[in-house]
Amino acid sequence: MNSTTRPADRPHSLHRGIGGLLVLASFCAPGSAAAQSPGSAFLSAPAAASATDTRAETIRIVAVGDIMMGTAFPDSTYLDPRIVPGVSPADLIGADLVEVLRSGDVVFGNLEGALFDEGGESKRCRNMDACYAFRSPEWYAGLLAGMGFNLMSLANNHSGDFLEAGRATTIAALEEHGIAFGGLAQAGAITGTLELADGTRVGLAGFSPNKGTVSIHDLDGLGRLVSELDRTHDLVIVSFHGGAEGADRTHVTREPEEFYGERRGNVYEFAHAAVDAGADVVIGHGPHVPRAVEVYRDRFIAYSLGNFWTWARFNLRGPNGLAPVLDLEVDRQGRVTAARVVSARQTGLGSPRLDPGGRAARLIAELSREDFPEIELEFGADGRISWSAEDGASASNAGAARD
């Protein structure tokens, strides 16, 4: 991997999502009222490269799965008492893991729940004492930024736990700390743009099956949105919260998945459609366990990065407690040039630490061999992944033949 300037040391700008009424209406999850509101219109072409272009040849992407660092709902006993204003991220997750995160030009996670200080009205549950609604302090956005995070998906089943008020404060907190975001089916939050110091424009589109988010089920709409991002950005990242949940749901089935009657998407079909439309990296989360990775048309797909930091309210037994960190380099055309899985696992009630045992990488290696034998990925002892150029470029035909 090439060394890079840490995001905290480097200015960047963020822009809120592209839209327009037609695009917004196309992506509303079933039952959402957001389709009635017009989208914003931030559209501009990336700066043309010149003979004196000083941008780096590769872009480093560090990505994790679900993040919920503690909730004040139903009461403050579900907050991590170690997290207080001024705390060092290294004291929480270790200096070595912080260093991995900060090494990325783009540092991505999936934010489960709202950043919302006030009590407010939550979603309705049959048993409010057992309701899984997540409300973290708004200042946690600064802690995320201090760890290096600059890109977040809000497309998941908990981003609307505290309704529109919670979404609004979450957006404001992320913007205040320079973290770009996308995935909500509302004006200005459909997609996100992160602009790096060298002018590189990174576009994010996030999808899930849940109300108020950009729908994972509309593949035609996916194609239109990703194609537009591809036209206006140097690099396109697609995130999805999909697939059934649980320790026994580690495999990519290549079929539609359900969980407690909810349609959770065909993540294999979705990920391939995203790459076909112009996505350069596809990052999955939602099953709460790691899943396989794949190289398809020279683009990298991670089908689930599991739980990264999920304090107190999550089952962390077995594979649920593994917290893989994906470390990628892609070239200026979006082709993956280097990849590794950095193994971490959650300790205590649910905070990550690097795992010298390498369990997350070993599990992802095993699953990748079983679920995508046609790709023939090789995993080193340090989690580094290798593959032949032919494997990545021809995966489309191999996958079609296997189907």
Q: How is 252-284 classified by DSSP, letter by letter?
A: --SS-EEETTEEEE-HHHHHHHHHHHT-SEEEE
* Type of residue numbered 148: G
Q: Shortest CA distance to 311 belongs to which of 134, 160, 156, 167?
A: 134
Predicted pLDDT of residue 36: 29
- Select the CATH number that applies to the domain covering 13-43+56-402 from these four: 3.60.21.10, 3.40.50.720, 3.10.20.30, 3.30.230.10: 3.60.21.10
Please enumerate in sequence order all residues whose Cβ is within 8 A of that of 80, keeping only pairs 6 or more positions apart, or say none.
69, 70, 92, 311, 312, 349, 351
* Type and span of the H or E element at 110: strand 106-111
Predicted pLDDT of residue 33: 36
β-pair partners for 192: 16, 204
Check: CB of residue 217 under 8 Å from CB of residue 209.
yes
Please enumerate in sequence order all residues whose Cβ is within 8 A of that of 22, keeping only pairs 6 or more positions apart, or say none.
none
Predicted pLDDT of residue 260: 86
Q: How many CB atoms lie within 10 A of CB 346?
A: 23
Phi, psi (rounded to 5 degrees) for 52:
-105, 20
Residue 356: burial class (beta carbons within 10 Å; 0-12, 13-18, 19+): exposed
- Per-residue pLDDT 10s for the chain (403 aa) are 333 333 334 444 565 555 433 344 444 544 443 332 223 322 233 344 445 567 889 999 999 999 999 999 888 999 999 999 999 999 999 999 999 999 999 999 999 999 999 877 777 766 555 568 899 999 999 999 999 999 999 999 989 888 999 999 999 999 999 999 999 999 999 999 999 999 999 999 999 999 999 999 999 999 999 999 999 999 999 999 999 999 999 999 999 999 988 899 999 999 999 999 999 999 999 999 999 999 999 999 999 999 999 999 888 999 999 999 999 999 999 999 999 999 999 999 999 999 999 999 999 999 999 999 999 999 999 999 999 876 555 454 444 443 4
Q: Shortest CA distance to 254 belongs to which of 237, 271, 272, 269?
A: 269
Check: CB of residue 301 under 8 Å from CB of residue 275.
yes
Please enumerate in sequence order all residues whose Cβ is within 8 A of that of 165, keeping only pairs 6 or more positions apart, or say none.
116, 118, 120, 121
Helices (H) and strands (E) in the chain, counts: 9, 22
Q: Shortest CA distance to 94 belongs to which of 360, 290, 344, 328?
A: 344
Predicted pLDDT of residue 130: 53
Check: CB of residue 109 under 8 Å from CB of residue 152.
yes
pTM of the model: 0.86
**């459609």: which residue's tokens?**
273
Predicted pLDDT of residue 19: 44
Residue 347: burial class (beta carbons within 10 Å; 0-12, 13-18, 19+): middle
For 51, 239, 323, 364, the CA distances from 353, given in Å and listed in that order, are 44, 24, 8, 18
* Type and span of the H or E element at 362: helix 359-371
DSSP secondary structure, 112-181, as one string? -SEE--S--PPPP-SSGGG----EE-TTHHHHHHHTT--EEE--STTTTTTHHHHHHHHHHHHHHTT-EE
For 22, 66, 97, the CA distances from 324, given in Å and listed in that order, are 37, 11, 11
